[in-house]
Structure 1
Amino acid sequence: MTVDVSPFDLPLRTSLSTARGPIDRRRGFVLRGTVDGSEGVGEATPLPGWTESVDDCRRALELVDDPGAALGTGILDDAPAARHAVSLALFDARARAAGESLARFLGGASATVAERVPVNATVGSASVQETADAVRDAAAVGHDCVKMKVGVDAVDRDIERLVAAREAAPRVDLRADANGAWTRGEAERFADAIADHGLSLDYLEQPLSSEALAGHAALRAETDLRIALDETLASVSVDAVLSTGAADVLVLKPMAMGGPDRTLAVAERAAEAGVDSVVTTTIDAVVARTAALHIAATLGDPPACGLATADLLARDLAPDPAPVEAGRMTVPGGPGTAGDAFATLDT
């Protein structure tokens, strides 16, 4: 497999505040390679704190001259974004050679592959009225699930926002994401208030710090809340999460996992332990975002996934082959990740 790597730099529409600092652009690399006459396209879009740095990603990709061998030797194990690009390009090429969509190729002939994947809308920290309006608007355009950011304001204010959101859209599934902002006591107060108000949540995502496995396990045991872990997976092994019973749901980012193959391997292990998986992006460009959609589709009947992130970018590498419509994304039929949609990319 011959390899060509091109850098890109995509601005966001608006700078995003995160626990690891603001994000105002996404820099990365497009990797192209040919396997047995079929070209594959991969994307590496590092996100420090989740993956290696952009410079380390570039250096890792410079080591790759045979992607199949690179995946087998482990030289990319400390560079998950670089490994994602290599893995995706390899599987895209093989799927194209087989004349199959990436989802069908990854899932295998006997797997149930979804044709459309539901995606959640996201509402950031906002006033009570702004939250209610945003949730109502998301429901009006077809979203069945909305994830609300919590943990920035006081617990009582977040409860007010959730009450307003439920009144604004009674039939929409609500998720709350604290991004590890709370102490154990704050998380317990939140759980008690949810119960007192008769509110229901699909799940509460990352209420405590990433290393607090025992605390998350206790919240699961002591409350009626389903607990999802996201940031934890960047610093704690999946085996440790599953063995301690710390989660009902794993939030899987293929870029941080190191590629489609590793993401699906984790999802399979989670399913065996009775834990659900939700696939999301790290605000990736269109190649990786579309691949994440295929990965979600291989889950058969996936829950709402965090893939509706295209609008965060001011521009992209190519037109989106799977835009969000009525709260869902249609999986490209192939071959590969998106047929010929990525034949020309704006790098």
Structure 2
Amino acid sequence: MITITEIEAIPVRLDIRPLSEPLGIAPYVTTYTEFYDMERVLIRLDTDSDITGWGEMRSTLSTDSTKAIIETDIADKLIDEPVSAVESLPERFDSFQYFDIDPFLGGVEMAMWDAWGQYLEQPLYNLLGGKVRETVDVSFCLGVLEPAESREHARTALEHGFDVLKTKAGRDWRQDVKRIVAMHDEVDGQLEFRLDPNEGWTTEEAVRVAASLEDEGIYLQYLEQPLRIDNFGSFKRLRERLRTPIAANEDMYFRHNLLELVKRDAIDAGVIDMVPAGGLQAAKRLASIADDAGISLSHHCAFDLGIKSAALAHLVATTPAINLPPDSVYYAWDEHIIEEPFDLSDGTLPIPEAPGLGITVDESNVEKYRIDR
């Protein structure tokens, strides 16, 4: 039996390709900040069988804090334990009642699945129930830009085979409407659009944006998390006032919120993320709830690198309930931490066929970009 011998958290920082370059998106502007680069935490899980599993996460804590939690609180419970215990991982941390351990477990669980699949010589999709699709269509993501500049990038997305474009919302909802109208006009309606204010609007602003777009004959694929989390009643009232589908994202990061939104009949779609959910199994449980409720699902992107993008491919390939293209910005990386980077230039993410996650980590690049030396 293969057992865990060491768990290491490795923070890295990579630059995002600038807007001036093909498929570049930096600075990626949102309502609260702008990104030129992104920090991620890679998780290396070594075993007594000379097999190494890899996971990946983004943390809202400092990288030092994230590293400490993974290498102490989590590692202390998993060293010398079998990798096959991946399915019982959450139960081992039931005592963490006053701290949200799920995002850290999400990254570690990914590494356990990778190692377990390598040991069994099976691609992860076989361990998750088998493929229901051969490739994964993804959504192009774009930050806040002026309408004229947004037009150019919408055209680029269409020319590269993307069918859906997600854009962040800014601080002026009128400008958001102008940008969507401009992009819709540029591609002659051949792209679907998602608009994401990151909880930044009031109900009145959300109504004005969606109604203004509806008046222009533009119906978003969905309006993503326009209101703050735990605001179930307002979501329900917003959905009742609009024809535009309403989606929740940040609400999906907290246990039972999806179930509560379903009970209130408050959303049309959900945007889940396997890492804050607690892992691939937790993401599948959310998918089951959504499927039973008839709610469509997509998957969030937090500037994922190749490890999590591989996990995403396996998750979506084996989960029919994730019926909308997941978000991705993978096309915007110039440098990579896997030896054979994915090519998303045609708007699709391939599903790796090698055992485990199906990728080989480029450890020299990991050392090049790590930030904890």
Amino acid in structure 2 at the alignment position of 1:161: R
Matched with 2:259 is: 239
Of 125-134 and 93-102, the range deviating more from structure 2? 93-102
1:343 Cα deviation after fit = 7.4
TM-score (norm 2): 0.82
RMSD over aligned Cα, in angstroms? Answer: 2.8
Task: Name the residue aligned to 1:102.
Answer: 124
**Equivalent residue for 1:11?**
14
Aligned length: 340
Query: Residue 32 of structure 1: which of 45, 61, 71 is its match?
Result: 45
SS for the counterpart of 2:128 is helix
Distance 1:50 1:257, change over 3 A: farther
Structure 1 counterpart of 2:178: 160
1:62–1:49: structure 2 CA closer, same or farther, 3 Å change rule?
Answer: closer
Instruction: Find the partner of 2:277 among 257, 280, 305.
Output: 257
For 1:95, the aligned partner's letter is G
Q: Would you say the 8 A contact 2:273–2:300 is kept in 1?
A: yes
Secondary structure at the counterpart of residue 107 of structure 1: coil
- In structure 2, what is the equivalent of residue 89 of structure 1? 111
1:12–1:314 contact (8 Å) kept in structure 2: yes
Aligned to 2:328: 307
Q: Which residue of 2 aligns with 1:179?
A: 198
List structure 1 runs of 4+ shifted beyond 6 angstroms: 49-52
Contact preservation (8 Å) 1:38, 1:94: no
Query: Match for 2:300: what amino acid?
Result: T
Q: Distance in 2 between matches of 1:83 and 1:105?
A: 19
CA distance in 2, matches of 1:71, 1:51: 23
Alpha carbons of structure 1 residues 238 and 263: separation in structure 2 relative to 1, 3 Å: same
Does the CA contact (< 8 Å) of 2:232 and 2:264 recur in 1?
yes
Structure 2, unpaired ranges of 5+? 17-25, 368-373
Q: Distance in 1 between matches of 2:327 and 2:226?
A: 18
Give the Cα separation in 1 of the matches to 2:152 and 2:273.
Answer: 29
- Cα distance in 2 for partners of 1:115, 1:86 equals 26
Instruction: Give the CA deviation at 1:81.
Output: 3.3
Q: Counterpart in 1 of 2:19?
A: none
- TM-score when normalising by structure 1: 0.87
1:119–1:304 contact (8 Å) kept in structure 2: yes
Q: 1:243 to 1:331 in 2, by over 3 A?
A: same
Query: Quick check: 1:99–1:336 contact (8 Å CA) kept in 2?
Result: yes
Residue 336 of structure 2 aligns to a residue in which SS?
coil
Structure 1: which 5+ residue stretches go unaligned? none
Q: 2:43–2:108: 8 Å Cα contact kept in structure 1?
A: no
In the alignment, the residues of structure 2 paired with residue 51 and residue 177 of structure 1 have an alpha-carbon distance, to the nearest angstrom, of: 26
In structure 2, relative to structure 1, the CA distance for the partners of 1:318 and 1:281 (3 Å cut) is: same
Residue 249 (structure 2) aligns with: 230
- Distance, in Å, in 2 between the alignment partners of 1:244 and 1:3 is 46
Give the superposition deviation at 1:182.
0.9
Aligned to 2:133: 114
CA contact (8 A) 1:206 1:231 kept: yes
Instruction: Say if 1:11 and 1:213 are closer, same or farther in 2 by CA, change over 3 A.
Output: same
**How far apart are the structure 1 equivalents of 2:361 and 2:218?**
44
Offset from partner CA, 1:294-324 (integer Å, 9 cap, x none) = 111112474211133352x563322354321
1:199-234 CA deviation, whole Å, 9 max, x = no partner?
Answer: 121111111112221111122222111111111223
Q: 1:60 is matched with which residue: 60, 64, 73?
A: 73
Residue 231 of structure 2: aligned partner = 212
